[in-house]
Structure 1
Amino acid sequence: YWTTARSMAKQNQPWNAWLYYQQAAALLQPVGFVSSSHLEKLQTEASTAAPPVLQKGVSVDQPLVLRATDGTEYRITGFGFDDSSSKEKVDLVVHLKVDTAGDAAATRKRNSEAARTLVLAYPELRSAFHGVWVSSESPGASPFATEEPMENLR
């Protein structure tokens, strides 16, 4: 992931590079208290390549807020990777903060629209990922995850 992130950074794909750097860091640092010169170098590269909106990171306390064309706001609290599908490209995992879980049909629609809004806002994601998994997370409820292949996110 690290070498791919470097390549993406050189190709002026800051979103893809930042996401791949995050995955490389997760693999290089199995627990939070481990540090190394390699990890520090990777973190420096990642912060240099990060898009301005991601300079401070993404978390529950500092979500990435995306606004759909209809005005709906989606609050993304984290990103991850899923490589379990054995596809040529990995899937992007998005953690979405929601106030209430809602019924399954409404949650599925919200997840799909959140994935669509993300890809429309940052189209470079299409080239690096097979699809987007969205995990809606609300207090006191189980996460509700759905997957959308990139070809469905138009």
Structure 2
Amino acid sequence: MIAAPAAGFAASCTTQSALTPEDRGTLASLGEQLSDAVLRQDTSALQTVLLPSLAGQWDGIRGAVEQAAPLVKGGKVQLRNVYLLDATTLTAPSDTQFFCSNANGSMTVTISMHALPPGKYAVLLSDAAGSPLAGQMGFVLAWDTTGASGWKLGGFSARQGAFDGHDGVWYWTRARELAHSNLPWAAWYCYDAARYLELPVDFLSSPNLDKLIQEQSQIKGGPSEDTFPYSVTSGDRTWKIDGIRLDASLHEPDLGVTYESTGTGDPAVARTEAIAVLGALLKAQPGLRENFHGMWAYASTNGKVTPVMELPMAQIP
């Protein structure tokens, strides 16, 4: 239900301020209860309100809840947004967009759902306020009519809201500074970091995010899709880098670098090759070293990608 952005049939959305007091109270209370269950890692409480049709997907949802533990640790639940979605006019599962406007219509948030069945849904966003990683959570609820009518859990995701105490706004500001300083690659991935930190879900877009993406697209000399494969050289060796992306696996602002490897099976040789590739990339784009924590090396051989290692910037020559 929450796997990928989509476009298509437009249905109706009611924002938190426009909800009836009854709906607002019910959804806010449920959002706080679900968020608190994540903070307490009470997966049993979450399983009891799972949408029956998703019983076979419980292991994946439980895994997402468990992975959220370090993100929300030490925080206190703070509800951010509630959106009530009405897709009852659908006649079959459909890629569906909901346009959620505030009271005066000055701002519209777009929620995009893939292959959404007809029905009523809600999206709840909350924060673990005060947690070191500024954890943020997103829940998808569905109105269940198979038994006793009520809201049931249809999806969950979580994401940290800060790297080393710096939130998305900080990275957005930093990206602008780097773009003006003629460091387009560092600016590009700082924009990626800002977008990553802004929301716990990928199926929601806002005017701010649209503005961020537009700014990023206007960077001259940045790593667009046409940049790759990107060649780097060290000594008499040249490697092709197939892609670079933000990698928050260690809850740090790392960059994941996928390169075309010689395919050696010797771990020591693979490590030496990875260090050479990462070092050559940093020499070609020195702005990356100063603005990110480290790099992951992913070796690609005959279409198979294998993680080799992660190194802090200070350990890459």
* TM-score interval, normalised by the smaller of the two chains: 0.7 to 0.9
1:127 aligns with 2:290: yes
Aligned AA (2:314): E
Aligned to 1:42: 212
Distance 1:57-1:20 versus aligned 2 partners, 3 A rule: farther
SS of alignment partner, residue 182 of structure 2? coil
Aligned AA (1:147): E
For the pair shown, the structure with the greater C-alpha radius of gyration is 2
Aligned to 1:4: 174
1:75 aligns with 2:245: no
Aligned AA (1:134): A
Q: Is the 8 A contact 1:136 1:145 kept in 2?
A: yes
1:55 aligns with 2:224: yes
Scaled by the length of structure 2, what TM-score is found?
0.40
Match of 1:97 among 233, 254, 260: 260
Tell me how far 1:112 sits from its aligned partner. 0.6
CA distance in 2, matches of 1:57, 1:16: 17
Structure 2 residue runs without a partner (length 5+): 1-170
Deviations 1:10-38 (A, max 9, x none): 3332121111112223445733x544322
Aligned AA (1:136): A
Tell me which protein shows more helix as a share of its residues. 1
Structure 1 residue runs without a partner (length 5+): none
Aligned residues: 146
Distance 1:37-1:108 versus aligned 2 partners, 3 A rule: same
Q: What percentage of aligned pairs have identical amino acids?
A: 31
Aligned to 2:310: 147
Q: Is the 8 A contact 1:115 1:134 kept in 2?
A: yes
Tell me which protein shows more strand as a share of its residues. 2
Deviations 1:67-109 (A, max 9, x none): 33313223232321337366xxx33221223363532112111
Tell me how far 1:139 sits from its aligned partner. 4.3
Scaled by the length of structure 1, what TM-score is found?
0.74
Q: Is the 8 A contact 2:256 2:298 kept in 1?
A: yes
